[in-house]
Amino acid sequence: MLSIGVISQKGGVGKSTTARLIAVNSALAELDTKIIDLDIQQGTCTAWNSRRMQNNITPHISVEQFPSVRAAIKKSSGYDLVIFDGSPHATKQTLEVSQVANLIVIPSGTSLDDLEPSILLCHELKSKGVNRDKIYILLSKVGSSEVELNEAKEYLQRSGYNHFKNYIPEKTAIRRALDSGRCANETDYKSVNETVQKAVDEIANKIGEMV
Ligand SMILES: Nc1ncnc2c1ncn2[C@@H]1O[C@H](COP(=O)(O)OP(=O)(O)OP(=O)(O)O)[C@@H](O)[C@H]1O
Ligand SMILES: [Mg+2]
């Protein structure tokens, strides 16, 4: 069983959106996939999956809520891939996910307000013994400015931590898709889906390298 942890100490950066995106695309690739919804307060992925089922959207996704990483792992053998959707402001859980996951994805906005805490989290995880090679920052909710995007990429480059070259754009279409149980590359707009597809393909390739 492979596992991906989608984590960030910051709220609202796109953790649950990324977890849902990876889950749908892994299911399409015929991996037996489950989202472990560790955000039991909000249950974002759980509620989304309920909308997905109500709207009869395929592929069907398994989502289960767990109060702890340990409990989740105990009950998740038999899956090809599990995706941890982490809670914000959850220092202990964030570290636990990072210790068990094969790949760690940290979604981050392009502003310094978002980038700086993301890098701090990388430092923190590294100082706790997490292998930096498995940590990847994913630029998420990226606006339409090419200049801003490139500056964010340069910042990440200088930090020395890994980041994905592709990104998830900020789009109303993505919010609308999520509202109806679809994921970020199942929007009504082909160009949005294509941009998001590149990001999820890059993540999938990374998982592939880890097998
Ligand atoms: N690429 C995007 N474009 C537009 N809206 C987005 C995008 N990604 C996420 N959103 C919206 O931003 C909000 C937060 O997204 P999401 O739930 O994925 O973040 P999160 O990091 O899981 O938040 P939390 O820390 O509260 O768990 C949601 O309303 C979601 O619909
Ligand atoms: Mg969330």
Q: Break the chain into its structural domains and give their ranges.
A: 2-210
Query: Using an 8 Å Cβ cutoff, are 6 and 15 in contact?
Result: yes
Please say whether the dihedral angle defined by the alpha carbons of residues 111, 117, 123 and 128, taken in this order, is positive or negative. negative
Torsion of CA 74, 75, 77, 81, to 10 degrees: -110
Q: Which residues line ligand 1 (CB under 6 A)?
A: 11-17, 39, 42, 44, 88, 141, 168-171, 174-175, 178
Q: Say if residue 211's pLDDT is above 80.
A: no
- Per-residue pLDDT, averaged over 182-211, amounts to 95
Protein residue with its CA nearest to atom 23 in ligand 1: 12
- How much is the pLDDT for 210? 79
E strand map for the chain = 2-6, 33-37, 62-65, 81-85, 103-108, 135-139, 162-163
Q: What is the pLDDT of residues 32-49, one digit of tens each?
A: 999 999 999 999 999 999
Pocket test for ligand 1, best of 175, 188, 192 (most atoms within 8 A of CB): 175
Query: Using an 8 Å Cβ cutoff, are 45 and 124 in contact?
Result: no
Q: Say if residue 167's pLDDT is above 90.
A: yes
**Average confidence score pLDDT of the chain:** 97
- How much is the pLDDT for 196? 98
Q: What is the pLDDT of residues 104-163, one digit of tens each?
A: 999 999 999 999 999 999 999 999 999 999 999 999 999 999 999 999 999 999 999 999
Classify 76 as helix, strand or coil.
Answer: coil
- Residue 184 CA: which ligand 1 atom is closest? 1
Q: How far is the centre of ligand 2, averaged over its atoms, from the C-alpha of 7 (Å)?
A: 9
Q: Is 2-210 in CATH node 3.40.50.300? A: yes
